[in-house]
A and B are shown apart, each in its own frame.
Chain A
């Protein structure tokens, strides 16, 4: 896979950019310098990697907080 294609995938999958910004960035990939592509690509790849590593833990943590929270009497009373 070449860098431009890889960058396009990472931009489109990024959680950080709005759909409009994603579209603009993708449109401008061809006019980016190699350094720009590498810098943006490394940043997005690093973020994605880190996010994927912590995502499971974060979801599990939230699940346990939600479960514990539901068990508190006033929270359950308000949910009814």
Chain B
């Protein structure tokens, strides 16, 4: 976008009473170079749309949430509130799903029996035990570790496919790139 030029009149010029010197400053902003950013972003967005990758990301999110709850569980008092809330979501989660809301259960592979059973330890140790660690570990081991690994493999597979496609048509792709690179330089 072009701004109106700032005109500065120099009254103290010593040009013998002739017309004042006018200094004109123009500020023309470069058009934003978004192509690179947008395209790279779009590329990753496409990868992240893959259902397997989506599941892996959800699993990663759950793992991070479970780690957070486990750390919070180290604090007697506050920890119990967080850990019990996570357990409560096991009960509320399926009901939320019926209303079209996301199931917020962060340990779907752990049974209610184990989730609530471990809380007994909290009572016995006056909140000193980090019982959510058990659920977090089981959730990671039973489901999330595999989903994250599958997602990583899928991303790698997608990138490898792209590389393979390039290698199969290397000479013509290189030539096509050159046509527009020369155009840019010229």
A-side residues, CB < 8 A to B, are 1-3, 5-7, 9-10, 13, 15-16, 38, 41-52, 55-56, 58-59, 62-63, 65-66, 69-70, 72, 74-75, 77-79
Contacts and interface: CB of A to CB of B under 8 A. Distances in A.
A13 B141 contact: no
Interface residues of B, number: 37
Contact of A79 (B46, B149, B156, B159): B149
Contacts of A78: 140-143, 145-146
B148 A69 contact: yes
B180 interface: yes
Chain A at the B interface: SS class: helix
Contacts of B166: 13, 52, 55
Contacts, number: 120
B153 A13 contact: no
Of A3, A13, A43, A69, which is in contact with the most chain B CB atoms at under 10 Å from its CB? Answer: A13
Contact of A13 (B36, B155, B169, B180): B169
15 contacts: A3-B180, A10-B180, A16-B39, A43-B39, A45-B181, A49-B177, A49-B181, A52-B166, A56-B163, A58-B159, A59-B156, A62-B159, A66-B149, A75-B145, A75-B149
